[in-house]
Structure 1
Amino acid sequence: MKSIHKYIWMALLAVCAVSSCKKYLDVTPDGVGTIDYAFRNRNEAENYLFTCYSTLQKMQNMHYDAGFTTSGEIVFPNNLSDNTYMDLTGFNILRGLQTSGNPALNYWDGNNGGQDLWQAIRRCNIMLENVDKPVDLSPSEKKRWIAETKFLKAYYHFYLFRLYGPIPVVDKNLDINSPIPVTKIKRRPVDTVVNYMVRLLDEAAPDLPPVIENTAKELGRITSVITLSLKAQILATAASSLFNGNPDYASIKNKDGEALFNPTFDASKWDKASAACLAAITLSEKSGLKLHTYTPEAGIDNLNDTLTTVLATQTAVTARWETNTELIWANYTTFPEEEYCFPRLTQKSVSNIICAGTFAVPISEQELFYTSNGVPITEDKTWDYNDRYGFRTGDDANKSYIGVDYQTVKAHFNREPRFYADLGFDGGVWFGNGVGDPDNAFVLRGRGPESFAGPKDNVRVNVSGYWPKKLVNYLSVYDDGYNRVPYHMPLIRLADIYLLYAEALNEQGKPYTEAAQYIDKVRARAGLKGVAESWTKFSSNPNKFTTKEGMRQIIHQERRIELAFEGVPGYDLRRWKELQGVMSKPLQGWNVRESTLENYYRPRLLATPVFNTRNYLWPIQDNDLIVDGNLVQNLNW
């Protein structure tokens, strides 16, 4: 079995028969002879199956993921003197630069940072239409390939659904001789799209293996665990505020008057989401999946419990796919943007431009993480929120987190382990980078005459003073060169499904104890006590978890912390209709060009987000509305 990334037919099969129909969503490509050749035997058909997967492999760059670039988690500087290495299209959306004339991250047409997902869906339809042709294809393989293709169709539809809302459903390709009016299709209501995606997944799941046994040859292929987990995500999205009883979009209708959004809330949608989450969890655990724990690599010595907990969180993302027990699904192509997350930790790295370190985390994201007591910094009765920007010196009691005798702000002390796993900051301990002894771990120096991490010119600059440490494999080394130890960016982790189930249970109105047990699983891995104990003992709102609204806030914050920088919170904030609140405040960072303690720790403006109701959904490109007169635009574009 060839690996998924070894495909050869994509260029031959991506051409539309009539040049003017490029924008149509479901016209069969030309080259019938080529298609016949592609399915003449099992090996050629397998190559075509991999073309159906191929679009996934092109989506590994996080700066083209709307969930990453428009979440408020990362700011990328837009005034670098040399920016030949990063496309700012996605990052500039939060600055108000989205347009309907040439949409950024256009996954409808496949330009301006996006992939053409309608083309990907057409390939899947071609696969399903021709999979019976190879006479040497065994029945069992045929069933598996059909199931994989149906999953991919559902996933590509879901990706479009999250961005555009109600979309056309492309179940079959139209014949090339179809009259022009037939090719001008319309968008379908939200419930129709959701039911279609779920039906595809229900049909696919029984014919897929729960796990990949032969990882050397089949790593990245779809499993039934992946399928049920995606179904849970789809149904939770459909049950959420953006799509379930959203009055803002009541006016969006097809030209024949058909409403595309149901403005009436339907509580039963959370019942469906809850059942799907439980099914995904049950099969995952039955198949051997569990929350990842850290096992030291060779040469890593003398780890204390504190650092082990930090590494358990960090390596839940960066551990090898084959050994990561909670990784349900990841991008087959290894994460290519680690260098944008890596600070300069040594003198030799200062003169090395390989690692830009320019993915900057704003102060607001830093403040999202809990205190060491496992509650928000605004609620902890023992944590001095008002003096959080005062100064404190690192000591032996905090040496696993803060450099001893290094001065930094008090906000960096007494935070939860995920704070130290996810963020690099001035004065923070950075374990790894070639040093396996925690007593000699690097301390990130972002300011002062000994600063390695601070800006040396306008090319190498982290504009906030915070780095997304979570996205750096601690085994990678950046010194006079860059030795990257690759990993696969998660698409779905078991922790995600646990928290999604907790959310569904709470939205169903179940007792807080039912939801809390799944949140507490994730919190325990992060070194925190359970929700009830933490809030009762330390929160100024000790009964918060006992109400549906209070538990909702806890779950939402827990998801934003646990899944930070993985492209998930951005989509969560959209489906919850909470992104507008996040974007209502300026994004700030520290005054990184200053070297003194007092001047460095002064918040400064990084970006003023532009976001209103229309920004929850992507615009369809104006030209598409001209080509297909049956398409209608999203609200206020």
Structure 2
Amino acid sequence: MKKRYIYLMASVMAFGLFFTSCSDYLSVEKHFNDMQSEDKIFNNRTYTMQWLSYCYCRLMGDNIEVGHSRFCPQNFADDQVFSETYARYKAYKLGEIGYGYSYSGYYQNSWKWSYAAIYQATVLINKVDGNTDMTPDEISDVKGQARFLRAYFYWLLMRRYGPVPLMPVEGVDYGKSYDELSYPRNTYDECVEFIAEEMKQAAKELPEERDNLNMARPTRGAALAVRAKVYLYGASPLFNGNQEMSDFQDRTGRVLISQEYDEEKWAKAAAAARDVIEGGWYELFTRKFRESEVAGDYANPKTIAPPYHPVYSEANFPDGWKDIDPFESYRSTFNGEVNFYHNPEIIFSRVTNRAEGDYSYLGDYCDVADMVKHQIPNSAGGYNMHSMTMKQCDAYDMADGTPFDRNDHLEGYASAANKNLRPYDNLEDGVWMGYANREPRFYASVGYNGARWNCTSASDQSATDVINKQVWYYRGKLDGRANNSERWLATGIGIKKYIHPNDCMNHGGNIQEKLEPALRYADILVSYAEALNNIEKGNSYTIESWDGSQTYTIKHDINEMRRGMKPVRMRAGVPDFTDEVYNDRELFFERLVHERQIEFFAESQRYYDLRRWKIAPQHEGEQIYGCNVMMDESNRDAFYTPVRVAGVQTAFSRKQYFWPMIYDELQRNKNMTQAPGWQDYD
């Protein structure tokens, strides 16, 4: 057998909760000590695990799913704005990414990094069975991890690029010519089925749970959850009977996007989500009802019970919200209060994906904690650059679940004198009353003008300057509009999701480590309801569970839809949808779009949701509005008048459904075709 050789480090990566050490395997500045044949590598447990670690490292950089705009622009749809390198944001909103544009160097690594990891994972899968240094159970686990990663990298690519080439599972001989290694795109449906089958096999090889030192490694549930998401996307309008994409073809003229609608795809998506639900591995994270607060503790207020409801106020979670704190339940899911091991909602995560070990390869701004630094106000030492759009801010409902109406809300500003008018908030004095009596997820996510930032980790002699202080975005204030600076909020509306009460960047403070919510159980629950809603009433499908142990009858069943949607609404402290909504497929879809906008804000979900539903033109094509940040406090009424964000022109054209194929790949691969609307450089 012809042997291929690689350089391999002698050191062992400390891989578990943190990916910090990944840089050791990518840096060209660190020389390899050993040259080993593949046979030797896969007969040694240490070397095999190092090989696997390389695959994990490629989840970083441009492949992160929640993070700073430098690597994760899809985290910014019509819901938030980044103002660092503002020209890049404006170009991004117009779809000016890729070769030939001013910022062509950005967002280009996902393709090559993913295929490098796919190759590495494939070699491991094909070689590791002969490892005499590992037990059969260890070999099964390692193969399952590699198989999961291989399929996961394809999933990351598909969300950006649509249908992609599937490499041979037996591996590729890179000694062949470029022409022999030129693979065309597979159809989107072929990609979906490949990932689904791979994840099903991975689920058989992976354990059901991990210990505290291995939480970043996938489990059976993670494999099945990704399978459910892949099926959901494959059933969605962008990929299911989309005749507007008939020109997305390979070199032979084969159409890559399904031209015939198939309802059964929704049934398969529902069954796949049901597999995760029936597994019983996950549940929504909740905090118990807090009866009281420590005197003066603004960071952890007592629970504000939602408006009384005769059913939900009298029932414990998940049938109601009587015993939980909806605000704290949602806030603590994201802000670092709870680690992965103690959060039953997180299915897969890069965990605390720090990259400070090697910026040249993994890049700074590569983790959730660094994204938070761009949300924190100037006055707390932050960069003050990520802001929420007014559209997103106004999307949060009132406390009783009714829509917020900008033309019909309490007037004036919060004070002790009007507290009786707003029993469902903890607004500080001077805050605009449009922010009063909103649902709990609003207060966990929105850094509105005049919100209190706790900064409780501040510890030096001047810590009182920031601890539990209100932050104002009026012009002339420390955190307001400033000339000759990027460090002000373009919309005048801050973001508090992922912010822990401890978080502070000056006065001796620090940032709490954050958990990346790459995939969480709430998504599977809501996806289950969505898939069922798309089954025509009267139609029914019988589908086997992933392991063949049972069969599901999949149909438009409002009780099963509630099984998915209701717990998410209860955790949020807002009433469940009525029977009228559940029975009306179009009305339910409207509510679903809204619910996902709120529940999954700033999780890189909306960008893809709007596209797969084919409603991006009317949402991402709208102009971006915010507060009038030119107004100072003496003109505070005018501050809240909606104005278009200056200097940003938005548009959405068909080409923006998919990212452009990178120039290098088009030049290298004679069988690669460009996505519709983008230049192919032939």
* Alignment-derived partner of residue 643 in structure 2: 604
Is residue 2:332 matched to residue 1:315?
Answer: yes
Give the deviation of 1:374 after TM superposition: 1.2
Per the alignment, in what secondary structure is the counterpart of residue 82 of structure 2?
Answer: coil
* Alignment-derived partner of residue 533 in structure 2: 506
Structure 1: distance between partners of 2:623 and 2:22:
45
Using a 3 Å threshold, how does the CA distance of structure 1 residues 179 and 339 change in structure 2: closer, same or farther?
Answer: closer
Contact persistence 1:125–1:172 (CA under 8 A): yes
Where do 1:317-356 residues align within 5 Å? 317-318=334-335, 319-334=338-353, 335-344=368-377, 350=379, 354-356=381-383
* Alignment-derived partner of residue 606 in structure 2: 569
Name which of 578, 584, 591 aligns with 1:532: 578
* Alignment-derived partner of residue 8 in structure 2: none
* Alignment-derived partner of residue 515 in structure 1: 561
Structure 2: distance between partners of 1:442 and 1:578:
40
Structure 1: distance between partners of 2:411 and 2:586:
33
Using a 3 Å threshold, how does the CA distance of structure 1 residues 391 and 8 change in structure 2: closer, same or farther?
Answer: closer
Give the deviation of 1:389 after TM superposition: 9.3
* Alignment-derived partner of residue 144 in structure 2: 147
Per the alignment, in what secondary structure is the counterpart of residue 204 of structure 1?
Answer: helix
Structure 2: distance between partners of 1:525 and 1:195:
34
Per the alignment, in what secondary structure is the counterpart of residue 367 of structure 1?
Answer: helix
Is residue 2:271 matched to residue 1:275?
Answer: yes
Structure 2: distance between partners of 1:178 and 1:47:
26
Per the alignment, in what secondary structure is the counterpart of residue 59 of structure 2?
Answer: helix
* Alignment-derived partner of residue 545 in structure 2: none
Structure 1: distance between partners of 2:103 and 2:275:
36
Give the deviation of 1:147 after TM superposition: 0.7
Task: Give the partner amino acid of 2:661.
Answer: I
Q: Deviations for 1:382-401, whole angstroms, at most 9, x for unmatched residues?
A: xx542459544343244773
Contact persistence 2:330–2:572 (CA under 8 A): yes
Contact persistence 1:109–1:116 (CA under 8 A): no
* Alignment-derived partner of residue 393 in structure 1: 414
Name which of 162, 181, 197 aligns with 2:179: 181
Is residue 2:619 matched to residue 1:582?
Answer: yes
Is residue 2:109 matched to residue 1:68?
Answer: no
Per the alignment, in what secondary structure is the counterpart of residue 644 of structure 2?
Answer: strand
Structure 2: distance between partners of 1:300 and 1:475:
17
* Alignment-derived partner of residue 97 in structure 1: 96
Using a 3 Å threshold, how does the CA distance of structure 1 residues 359 and 548 change in structure 2: closer, same or farther?
Answer: same
Give the deviation of 1:77 after TM superposition: 2.0
After alignment, is 259-268 or 166-175 more displaced?
Answer: 166-175
Overall identity of the aligned pairs, in %: 23
Contact persistence 2:431–2:451 (CA under 8 A): no
* Alignment-derived partner of residue 85 in structure 1: none
* Alignment-derived partner of residue 160 in structure 1: 157
Structure 1: distance between partners of 2:118 and 2:413:
56
Using a 3 Å threshold, how does the CA distance of structure 1 residues 107 and 52 change in structure 2: closer, same or farther?
Answer: farther
Per the alignment, in what secondary structure is the counterpart of residue 337 of structure 1?
Answer: helix
Task: Give the partner amino acid of 2:74.
Answer: G
Normalising by structure 1, report the TM-score.
0.83
Q: Aligned pairs, how many?
A: 578
Give the deviation of 1:402 after TM superposition: 4.9
Task: Give the partner amino acid of 1:619.
Answer: P
Name which of 118, 122, 127 aligns with 1:121: 118
Is residue 2:570 matched to residue 1:553?
Answer: no
Give the deviation of 1:184 after TM superposition: 1.2
Structure 2: distance between partners of 1:333 and 1:37:
33
Give the deviation of 1:456 after TM superposition: 5.0
Unmatched 5+ stretches in structure 2: 1-12, 296-300, 306-324, 354-367, 459-466, 537-555
Using a 3 Å threshold, how does the CA distance of structure 1 residues 442 and 115 change in structure 2: closer, same or farther?
Answer: farther
Task: Give the partner amino acid of 1:445.
Answer: W
Task: Give the partner amino acid of 1:472.
Answer: I
Per the alignment, in what secondary structure is the counterpart of residue 360 of structure 1?
Answer: strand
Per the alignment, in what secondary structure is the counterpart of residue 369 of structure 2?
Answer: coil
Structure 1: distance between partners of 2:242 and 2:205:
36
Is residue 2:251 matched to residue 1:255?
Answer: yes
Per the alignment, in what secondary structure is the counterpart of residue 578 of structure 2?
Answer: helix
Contact persistence 2:428–2:451 (CA under 8 A): no
Give the deviation of 1:634 after TM superposition: 1.0
After alignment, is 237-246 or 607-616 more displaced?
Answer: 607-616
Structure 2: distance between partners of 1:108 and 1:12:
20
After alignment, is 390-399 or 496-505 more displaced?
Answer: 390-399
Structure 1: distance between partners of 2:453 and 2:28:
48
Using a 3 Å threshold, how does the CA distance of structure 1 residues 549 and 186 change in structure 2: closer, same or farther?
Answer: same
Name which of 280, 289, 294 aligns with 2:287: 294
Using a 3 Å threshold, how does the CA distance of structure 1 residues 66 and 197 change in structure 2: closer, same or farther?
Answer: farther
Per the alignment, in what secondary structure is the counterpart of residue 386 of structure 2?
Answer: coil
Structure 2: distance between partners of 1:422 and 1:105:
32
Is residue 2:22 matched to residue 1:3?
Answer: no
Structure 2: distance between partners of 1:521 and 1:555:
14
Where do 1:104-253 residues align within 5 Å? 110=109, 116-170=113-167, 171-212=169-210, 214-215=211-212, 217-253=213-249
Q: Deviations for 1:229-275, whole angstroms, at most 9, x for unmatched residues?
A: 11110000100011111111112222212221121111000010000
Structure 2: distance between partners of 1:478 and 1:8:
25
Contact persistence 2:82–2:89 (CA under 8 A): no
Give the deviation of 1:420 after TM superposition: 1.2
* Alignment-derived partner of residue 454 in structure 1: 480
* Alignment-derived partner of residue 381 in structure 1: none
* Alignment-derived partner of residue 367 in structure 1: 394
Normalising by structure 2, report the TM-score.
0.78
Per the alignment, in what secondary structure is the counterpart of residue 166 of structure 1?
Answer: coil
Using a 3 Å threshold, how does the CA distance of structure 1 residues 356 and 107 change in structure 2: closer, same or farther?
Answer: closer
Structure 1: distance between partners of 2:142 and 2:428:
57
Contact persistence 1:625–1:631 (CA under 8 A): yes
Contact persistence 2:289–2:303 (CA under 8 A): no
Task: Give the partner amino acid of 2:248.
Answer: I
Task: Give the partner amino acid of 2:200.
Answer: D
Structure 2: distance between partners of 1:581 and 1:453:
32
Structure 2: distance between partners of 1:150 and 1:102:
36
Structure 2: distance between partners of 1:200 and 1:102:
37
Tell me how large the CA RMSD over aligned residues is.
3.1
Per the alignment, in what secondary structure is the counterpart of residue 652 of structure 2?
Answer: coil
* Alignment-derived partner of residue 491 in structure 1: 518
Structure 2: distance between partners of 1:124 and 1:516:
39
* Alignment-derived partner of residue 414 in structure 1: 437
Task: Give the partner amino acid of 2:480.
Answer: G
Give the deviation of 1:610 after TM superposition: 2.2
Structure 2: distance between partners of 1:246 and 1:617:
14
Contact persistence 1:9–1:51 (CA under 8 A): no
Q: Deviations for 1:489-527, whole angstroms, at most 9, x for unmatched residues?
A: 111111111101110111124143431342121111111
Name which of 488, 495, 506 aligns with 1:468: 495
Give the deviation of 1:621 after TM superposition: 2.3
Structure 2: distance between partners of 1:164 and 1:405:
48
After alignment, is 598-607 or 359-368 more displaced?
Answer: 598-607
Q: Deviations for 1:525-566, whole angstroms, at most 9, x for unmatched residues?
A: 111111118xxxxxxxxx444310100111121111101111
Contact persistence 2:425–2:437 (CA under 8 A): no
Give the deviation of 1:40 after TM superposition: 4.5
Contact persistence 1:103–1:620 (CA under 8 A): no
Structure 2: distance between partners of 1:89 and 1:389:
38
Task: Give the partner amino acid of 2:269.
Answer: A
